[in-house]
Amino acid sequence: MRLENRKQRVTSYSQFLFRMIRVSISAFLLIGVSIGIGVAGYYHFADLSCIDSFHMSCLILTGMGPVVEMKSNAAKLFSSFYALYSGVAFLTITAIFFAPIIHRILHILNVDFNDSETSSLK
């Protein structure tokens, strides 16, 4: 993602909305892939139904915790590694989504319109 530097003007609101739509699509794709991994793993290793696998995946991905006890060692291992992955994925997805918002706020607060380089961009 390419963002403007401090010597450039703040992007227009329409460009910012386009950037947020693009980032939101990326975040939802990452969420979908993460849930898909969890559903496939819980379905295969823990012998859960599709809806129970989806339920477990969503709860683990959001940090709520497991609902069903894992009975086999393979299910316990998958559940452990999926929980580790989910923690990193949740933080990454949150950072991807909020980066343009935080950048815009900080950029608005730090733009110097009296600089000769930025006056040519007006």
How does pLDDT run along the chain (122 residues), one tens digit per residue? 677 776 778 778 888 899 999 999 999 999 999 999 999 999 999 999 999 999 999 999 998 888 899 999 999 999 999 999 999 999 999 999 998 998 888 888 876 555 545 444 55
Whole-number Å distance between alpha carbons of 18 and 28: 15
pTM beyond cutoff 0.85:
no
pLDDT for the residue 112: 58
Predicted pLDDT at 114: 54
Query: With contact defined as beta carbons under 8 Å apart, do 16 and 107 qualify?
Result: no
pLDDT at 113: 56
What pLDDT shows up at residue 105? 87
- Taking residue 44's Cβ as centre, other Cβ atoms within 10 Å add up to 13
Which pLDDT belongs to residue 1? 62
Which CATH number applies to 26-93? Answer: 1.10.287.70
Residues in the chain: 122
- Give me the pLDDT at residue 2, please: 75
Residue 92, Cα to own-chain centre: how many angstroms?
5
pLDDT the model gives residue 119:
47
